A and B are shown apart, each in its own frame.
Chain A
Amino acid sequence: MRILISCVLLVILSLGLVFALEQAPFGSNQIDNADKPGRFYLNQGMEKTGAANVVTSVVVTYRGFDTLGEVTILFIAAIGLGAVFHSRKKVKRYEKEKQSASLILQTGCRFLFPLIVLFGTYVFIHGHLSPGGGFQGGVIIASAFLLLFLGCEEKKIPMKSMNTVESLAGIIFVGIGLAGLYWGESFLENFLPRGMDYMLLSGGVIPIIYIAIGFKVGAELAGIVAGLIERNP
């Protein structure tokens, strides 16, 4: 019964969606107009911000407020998870007969861990030059911590310093935004010189913000993973 009803509804929905999408004038003709943001970003984004990756300049400056919100959402998820899992009485460590990882895996993890972290750092530092950026880099770093968890369970993430990193990174983000308000004209404005194109030192505040985002996202996701793994029912 339920299956029938949902099938009928979904068929209507999908037909409507596909039909409407087919009818809609999507595609290239839409951003040709110069007052459309997309075209503007492509034409002038590089000159204004100095970031070769236009997506990055959009993410960090033009739509930087979205990014702030997005970082906030991850932050919410991290502390929300902490709040949900909080229990006053310390649950005694309840060990299901846990299989420890094989030596190969442990060694491999330990060997790879710094490399992956380095890679994550690379991704977010080069966010304005190549694909990737704060989130991707942060996720890679968090994944490195996840790997550490999976491989060698004796390694613990120092939650306190993670929190500090998270907090500091968030404050730096907001602070750069406010600095833009102070030295420039608007929140999150690019107030540093934009540097030479295609070089590491270009893009004004973008690398700085991306470093902050990278640290923040990495710390938050690592915190989330740690919270999930360390939950003992």
Chain B
Amino acid sequence: MHIAGMIAIGIGVLFLFLGSFGIVRLPDVYNRLQAGTKCTTFGCLFAVLGVGIVEPAWFWKALLVSLFVLLTNPISNHALGRAAKKSGVPLWDGSVVDKSRDFPSYANTEKL
């Protein structure tokens, strides 16, 4: 039990690190958001659940923490991404396509 939990925590921590690394490494906001959202949510989830596994009495609360993270993190990141788009943060030069002009509320914005 203890070892399993520790492994889970280890995976979580690894992904947290990778997420942060992605934040530094990736070229523009949107890509960073990808890394920030997925890796950190996942990492956090694993770490917290791992702790819940290590100490079984804590499991329910750990689950609750992870559920909250799972619920809130995408929403806040979505809000940030939308904000970036709305405030006109440009895409990375290497981007292949921007279809946002097909989208109703961006129809009349300049191509970014």
- Report if A and B associate in a common complex: yes
Instruction: Give A residues with C-beta under 8 Å from B.
Output: 99, 101-102, 104-105, 108, 111-112
Complex partner residue of B78 from A99, A102, A111, A112, CB under 8 angstroms: A102
**Contact residues in B for A108 (Cβ distance below 8 Å):** 71-72, 75
- Chain B 60-84 interface mask (CB, 8 Å, partner A; 1/0): 0000000000011001001100100
Indicate if the CB atoms of B78 and A105 lie closer than 8 Å. Answer: yes
Question: Which 10 A-B pairs rank lowest in CB-CB distance, beginning with the nearest?
Answer: A108-B75, A105-B79, A102-B82, A104-B78, A105-B75, A99-B86, A104-B75, A112-B71, A112-B72, A105-B78
**Complex CA distance for A111 and B68, rounded to whole angstroms:** 12
**Contact residues in B for A112 (Cβ distance below 8 Å):** 71-72
For A101, the closest partner residue in chain B by CB is B79
For B72, the closest partner residue in chain A by CB is A112
Range, interface on chain B: under 10
**Contact residues in A for B86 (Cβ distance below 8 Å):** 99
**Complex CA distance for A93 and B25, rounded to whole angstroms:** 45
**Contact residues in A for B72 (Cβ distance below 8 Å):** 108, 112
Determine the main DSSP class of A at the interface with B. helix
- The CB with the most chain A CB atoms within 10 A, among B71, B78, B79, B82, is that of B79
**Complex CA distance for A102 and B82, rounded to whole angstroms:** 8
- Contacts beyond the supplied A102-B79, A108-B72: 13 A-B pairs with Cβ under 8 Å: A101-B79, A102-B78, A102-B82, A104-B75, A104-B78, A105-B75, A105-B78, A105-B82, A108-B71, A108-B75, A111-B71, A112-B71, A112-B72
**Complex CA distance for A99 and B82, rounded to whole angstroms:** 11
18 A-B pairs in the complex with CB atoms less than 8 angstroms apart: A99-B86, A101-B79, A102-B78, A102-B79, A102-B82, A104-B75, A104-B78, A104-B79, A105-B75, A105-B78, A105-B79, A105-B82, A108-B71, A108-B72, A108-B75, A111-B71, A112-B71, A112-B72
**Contact residues in A for B75 (Cβ distance below 8 Å):** 104-105, 108
Determine the main DSSP class of B at the interface with A. helix
- Chain B 27-65 interface mask (CB, 8 Å, partner A; 1/0): 000000000000000000000000000000000000000
**Complex CA distance for A105 and B78, rounded to whole angstroms:** 8
**Contact residues in A for B82 (Cβ distance below 8 Å):** 102, 105
**Complex CA distance for A101 and B75, rounded to whole angstroms:** 12
For A115, the closest partner residue in chain B by CB is B68
**Contact residues in B for A105 (Cβ distance below 8 Å):** 75, 78-79, 82
For A105, the closest partner residue in chain B by CB is B79
- The CB with the most chain B CB atoms within 10 A, among A102, A104, A105, A112, is that of A102
For B86, the closest partner residue in chain A by CB is A99
**Complex CA distance for A112 and B68, rounded to whole angstroms:** 9
For B83, the closest partner residue in chain A by CB is A99
**Complex CA distance for A9 and B71, rounded to whole angstroms:** 49
**Complex CA distance for A104 and B78, rounded to whole angstroms:** 8
**Complex CA distance for A99 and B86, rounded to whole angstroms:** 9
**Contact residues in B for A111 (Cβ distance below 8 Å):** 71
Shortest C-beta distance, A182 to chain B (Å), equals 40
**Complex CA distance for A108 and B71, rounded to whole angstroms:** 8
**Complex CA distance for A96 and B78, rounded to whole angstroms:** 23
**Complex CA distance for A101 and B71, rounded to whole angstroms:** 17
Shortest C-beta distance, A172 to chain B (Å), equals 30
